[in-house]
A and B are shown apart, each in its own frame.
Chain A
Amino acid sequence: MMELQTIRSVVTSHPSGDARFASLDDTIAHYKAEPTALIQVLHAAQQLFGYLSPDVLRYIAGKLKLPLAQVYGVVTFYHLFTLVPRGKYQIMVCRGTACHVRGAQLILERLSQQLGIKEGETTKDNLFSLHSARCIGACAMAPAIAIGDDVYGKLTPDKVPKFCQKDLKKYT
């Protein structure tokens, strides 16, 4: 606890006073502001802010004493980090091998049609964005999609309209 306190006192908080930065500071302190914790800190930041804005990246770079270019390099290397805002809920359509051979492409197309957005886009109400994933580890339930921690398996193209009308209503 002592350690945590001292680290907190040397770093200044974000000028905006946005409470989410204080949360981010907690994560940074948990990792003792070690530059090697960059990826874990980015995860926390994306969780808090929904995406990684230049402002957030600059803030993290400052806190971890890393060049901004290096932070940017890491962010762009990994698929899960995003520099642009996404929907509140991200619909991840698995396009891994098992899902591919069981027709994932068609699921993606029908979802895109139903939601009226293309892959990578966000619905007008900012609720959903549509993405494809590599493999969500639900291969036995292929074709599968994930929304946050929820996994929906054994989809077929003709189940998609009902899925959109029923299951997606849970997410508000």
Chain B
Amino acid sequence: MIRAHCLICAGAGCISSGAHALKEALTAELKQRGLDNEIRIVETGCMGPCDLGPVMLVHPEGTFYQKVTALDVPKLVEEHFIKGRPYQPLLPKEAPTGAVVNTQRDFTFFAKQQKIVLENCGLIDPENIHEYIARDGYAALGKVLTSMKPEEVIAEIKASGLRGRGGAGFPTGVKWELTAKNPVKPHYVICNADEGDPGAFMNRAVLEGDPHKIIEGMAIGGYAMGANNGYIYIRAEYPLAVKRLQIAIQQAYELGLLGKNLFETGFDFDLELRIGAGAFVCGEETALMRSIEGRRGQPQPRPPFPAQRGLWGKPTNINNVETWATVPIIIRNGASWYGQFGTARTKGTKVFALAGKIRNTGLAEVPFGTTLRELIFDIGGGIPNGKKFKAVQTGGPSGGVIPAQYLDTPIEYETLQALGSIMGSGGMVVVDEDTCMVDFARFFLEFCCDESCGKCPPCRVGTRQLLNILERICSGEAELEDLDRLEELALMVKDASLCGLGQTAPNPVLTTLKYFRDEYLAHIVEKRCPARVCRDLLQFTIIEEKCVGCSVCARVCPVETIFKVGGQKKYYIVQDKCIHCGACLEACKFQAINKTSEGEGFIPPPRPAVLELPPGRKPTAVVTS
């Protein structure tokens, strides 16, 4: 008799923090105590709060344990399963108050979410199709094949108000209809699992945690649009997702849920995986199709849209992972059920990836209309280490930054766009006062410049020039006119580029310019980086009173520019050779290193009359200079 289930998160985050070791230890412990017949261990997909990993959920009570290591296992088993009370030290605490949380339901991180797409993630074993079926899996496929006409399926999706989750938010039903009505045959359906936005990992969680949902959604789409072949294009950087998809596809074939004559209705549907090879632009739909065809992933001008001429020139429908995964749920529960979530113009829920300077990094699914503040501060737990929120970056390299004054904005495609950013695929990178917004913009430009496929000059050349200007600003070599040049060029690249990559690449520049112009001015006019990030504008000095002369700084300095003060147990940084790498700052245990960005008025502490070699350093020519 099974009396309890231990659900161990086997998402990528928890695996990296030791979920496998936890499972082994727990298995051994239960066996040793003769409990292995009563307590079942299940490895699930991502539960969401990756920062707390490895996490474990115990049913039926719903007790949620965090940061469980193999070493905790004996105590935990003793308390929870033998004495029958929660093991206190591993219960999570609410971020601001520190209150201990007993069950998953009571934990604000979960309580404020609405899990629809993620309904099974963290609950079922993704490598076992029967667990998916037990949760009504493939019932929606059965329903459409046996009782609905293709047009009715499309009408249902249209009525649900579902919009594409890959970025642009195009109404899914409308897109399906375009492909369905195209008389050219055959038709194809594609799942975009390229998830290239750095800082985004929502699709990964579904791919790894509930792969059958995507397969079912695609089969339903295939039926609705008259396509008998589908492809999942997945990035090679997700080996675990590839493996779980391969298992899921094979299991679906074995049970006759893929392949020929599904549900004895004469409908055939085949599904294949295509693995990407590391090119961000291949997330763009036309480039993605080129890549499936085995070619360089260069985007094509649209129109023709994929519904007109797609894969191998045939009508094709591409949707994002999350879009496909929502389809079976809508069919199962009905469009009007789905319509109760979200806002008037944007129905349903969206999964967001919370990363950067936020306490509860991980995944959260909320209805549209939830405000940025609720997502970042209530669910996300706010900013760690007592720092101040500066901005949230949404939509990856194509998006923009949103500053604190807009935190109460309800999240919808249109509202974020009005602020100069985009929803994108759902990545949210939070930054605090220690992030330099100019450097942040430079970072994104470097990304886009590198990822530009090189086909159209506005993107290929324009992003390079934008990057050059930003690099000059970051190193304190820019002049005020550069700001106008930056803005003018950014708008030009936006207007003239061929595909979404170039058209959106200037967004990070434009939004940082709009909301954080003072930081640009500090770099240009005062040669100062207020967040103390841009290396060329930093100074490192030793605070004499705090220095105990331990010599650690001198030993870690890669350019050997830290010397011992003659006759004293003190150290001194000779400025001219310092590369401002910060190695001394991290190494110093006594907070004796000062990092400043004082601009041109910086005066280093007076140089001692005699400088000696630190212990262990061989003399070089520069010593006595």
Which residues on A are within 8 Å of B, measured CB to CB?
Answer: 34-40, 42-43, 70, 73-74, 77-81, 94, 96-102, 106, 109-110, 113, 133-142, 144, 146, 148-154, 157-158
- Collect the chain A residues with CB atoms within 8 Å of residue B291's CB: 39
Whole-angstrom distance between the alpha carbons of A137 and B293 in the complex? 25
Whole-angstrom distance between the alpha carbons of A146 and B15 in the complex? 12
Q: Any chain A CB within 8 A of the CB of B238?
A: yes
Q: Any chain A CB within 8 A of the CB of B306?
A: no
The residue on A at minimum CB distance from B558 is A113
Q: Report whether B275 and A151 are in contact in the complex, using a CB–CB cutoff of 8 Å.
A: no
Kindly provide the distance from the CB of B457 to the nearest chain A CB, expressed in whole angstroms.
18
Q: Can you give 6 contacting A-B residue pairs, CB < 8 Å?
A: A39-B275, A39-B277, A133-B237, A137-B12, A139-B427, A140-B353
Whole-angstrom distance between the alpha carbons of A96 and B444 in the complex? 9
The residue on B at minimum CB distance from A153 is B16
Q: Report whether A139 and B279 are in contact in the complex, using a CB–CB cutoff of 8 Å.
A: no
Q: Any chain A CB within 8 A of the CB of B429?
A: yes
- Collect the chain B residues with CB atoms within 8 Å of residue A70's CB: 295
Q: Any chain A CB within 8 A of the CB of B81?
A: no
Interface mask (B344-355 → A, CB under 8 Å = 1, otherwise 0) = 000000000111
Q: Report whether A153 and B275 are in contact in the complex, using a CB–CB cutoff of 8 Å.
A: no
Q: Any chain A CB within 8 A of the CB of B369?
A: no
Q: Any chain A CB within 8 A of the CB of B164?
A: no
Kindly provide the distance from the CB of A169 to the nearest chain B CB, expressed in whole angstroms.
17
Q: A97-B355, A100-B443 are in contact. Are A39 and B278 (CB under 8 A)?
A: no
Q: A74-B296, A97-B396, A151-B16 are in contact. Are A137 and B204 (CB under 8 A)?
A: yes
The residue on A at minimum CB distance from B52 is A140
Q: Report whether A37 and B294 are in contact in the complex, using a CB–CB cutoff of 8 Å.
A: yes
Known: A77-B453, A139-B200. 12 other contacts (CB 8 A): A36-B292, A73-B296, A101-B357, A101-B429, A109-B581, A110-B583, A134-B451, A135-B196, A135-B200, A137-B204, A140-B362, A150-B16
Q: A43-B236, A138-B13 are in contact. Are A96 and B198 (CB under 8 A)?
A: yes
Whole-angstrom distance between the alpha carbons of A142 and B586 in the complex? 18
Partner of A101, one of B16, B51, B297, B440: B440
Partner of B279, one of A79, A98, A137: A79
Interface mask (B466-483 → A, CB under 8 Å = 1, otherwise 0) = 000000000000000000
Q: Report whether B296 and A101 are in contact in the complex, using a CB–CB cutoff of 8 Å.
A: no
Kindly provide the distance from the CB of B127 to the nearest chain A CB, expressed in whole angstroms.
16
Q: Report whether A139 and B201 are in contact in the complex, using a CB–CB cutoff of 8 Å.
A: yes
- Collect the chain B residues with CB atoms within 8 Å of residue A38's CB: 294-295
Q: Report whether B274 and A135 are in contact in the complex, using a CB–CB cutoff of 8 Å.
A: no
Q: Report whether B237 and A137 are in contact in the complex, using a CB–CB cutoff of 8 Å.
A: yes
The residue on A at minimum CB distance from B432 is A101
B window 87-110: CB within 8 A of A: none
Q: Any chain A CB within 8 A of the CB of B186?
A: no
Q: Report whether A81 and B16 are in contact in the complex, using a CB–CB cutoff of 8 Å.
A: no
Whole-angstrom distance between the alpha carbons of A133 and B587 in the complex? 26
Q: Report whether A136 and B586 are in contact in the complex, using a CB–CB cutoff of 8 Å.
A: no
Interface mask (B229-240 → A, CB under 8 Å = 1, otherwise 0) = 000000011111
Q: A36-B292, A101-B435, A101-B440 are in contact. Are A140 and B201 (CB under 8 A)?
A: yes
Kindly name the residue among A80, A141, A148 whose own CB sees the greatest number of chain B CB atoms within 10 A.
A141
- Collect the chain B residues with CB atoms within 8 Å of residue A77's CB: 279, 296-298, 453
Interface mask (B6-31 → A, CB under 8 Å = 1, otherwise 0) = 00000011011100000000000000
Q: Any chain A CB within 8 A of the CB of B199?
A: yes
The residue on A at minimum CB distance from B451 is A134
B window 495-522: CB within 8 A of A: none
Partner of B201, one of A36, A79, A137: A137
Q: Any chain A CB within 8 A of the CB of B50?
A: yes
Q: A73-B296, A74-B295 are in contact. Are A141 and B237 (CB under 8 A)?
A: no
Q: How large is the interface on B (under 10, 10 to 19, 20 to 34, 35 or more residues)?
A: 35 or more
Partner of A97, one of B198, B275, B587: B198
Whole-angstrom distance between the alpha carbons of A147 and B357 in the complex? 25
The residue on B at minimum CB distance from A37 is B294
Kindly provide the distance from the CB of B197 to the nearest chain A CB, expressed in whole angstroms.
7
Q: A144-B16, A153-B16 are in contact. Are A134 and B196 (CB under 8 A)?
A: yes
The residue on A at minimum CB distance from B508 is A97
Whole-angstrom distance between the alpha carbons of A25 and B530 in the complex? 58
- Collect the chain B residues with CB atoms within 8 Å of residue A135's CB: 196-200, 237
Partner of B356, one of A39, A97, A134, A153: A97
Q: Report whether B278 and A80 are in contact in the complex, using a CB–CB cutoff of 8 Å.
A: yes
Q: Any chain A CB within 8 A of the CB of B280?
A: yes
Q: Report whether A36 and B278 are in contact in the complex, using a CB–CB cutoff of 8 Å.
A: no
Whole-angstrom distance between the alpha carbons of A102 and B431 in the complex? 9
Partner of B361, one of A74, A140, A148: A140
- Collect the chain B residues with CB atoms within 8 Å of residue A80's CB: 236, 277-278
The residue on B at minimum CB distance from A149 is B239
Q: Report whether A137 and B280 are in contact in the complex, using a CB–CB cutoff of 8 Å.
A: no
- Collect the chain B residues with CB atoms within 8 Å of residue A40's CB: 274-275, 294
The residue on B at minimum CB distance from A110 is B583
Partner of A141, one of B50, B295, B435, B558: B50
Kindly provide the distance from the CB of B32 to the nearest chain A CB, expressed in whole angstroms.
27
Whole-angstrom distance between the alpha carbons of A99 and B356 in the complex? 7
Partner of B429, one of A98, A146, A157: A98
Q: Report whether A106 and B582 are in contact in the complex, using a CB–CB cutoff of 8 Å.
A: yes
The residue on B at minimum CB distance from A76 is B296
- Collect the chain A residues with CB atoms within 8 Å of residue B276's CB: 39, 78
Q: Which 7 A-B pairs have the closest CB atoms?
A: A96-B198, A140-B50, A135-B198, A78-B277, A79-B278, A98-B355, A38-B294
Interface mask (B271-301 → A, CB under 8 Å = 1, otherwise 0) = 0001111111000000000011111111000
Q: Report whether B51 and A140 are in contact in the complex, using a CB–CB cutoff of 8 Å.
A: yes
- Collect the chain A residues with CB atoms within 8 Å of residue B294's CB: 34-40, 74
Q: Report whether B357 and A141 are in contact in the complex, using a CB–CB cutoff of 8 Å.
A: no
Whole-angstrom distance between the alpha carbons of A34 and B558 in the complex? 52
- Collect the chain B residues with CB atoms within 8 Å of residue A34's CB: 294
- Collect the chain A residues with CB atoms within 8 Å of residue B293's CB: 36
Q: Report whether B13 and A153 are in contact in the complex, using a CB–CB cutoff of 8 Å.
A: yes
- Collect the chain A residues with CB atoms within 8 Å of residue B583's CB: 109-110, 157
- Collect the chain A residues with CB atoms within 8 Å of residue B581's CB: 106, 109
Whole-angstrom distance between the alpha carbons of A32 and B293 in the complex? 14
Whole-angstrom distance between the alpha carbons of A72 and B236 in the complex? 19
Whole-angstrom distance between the alpha carbons of A73 and B298 in the complex? 12
- Collect the chain A residues with CB atoms within 8 Å of residue B362's CB: 140
- Collect the chain A residues with CB atoms within 8 Å of residue B267's CB: none
- Collect the chain A residues with CB atoms within 8 Å of residue B237's CB: 133-137, 146
Q: Any chain A CB within 8 A of the CB of B305?
A: no
- Collect the chain A residues with CB atoms within 8 Å of residue B292's CB: 36
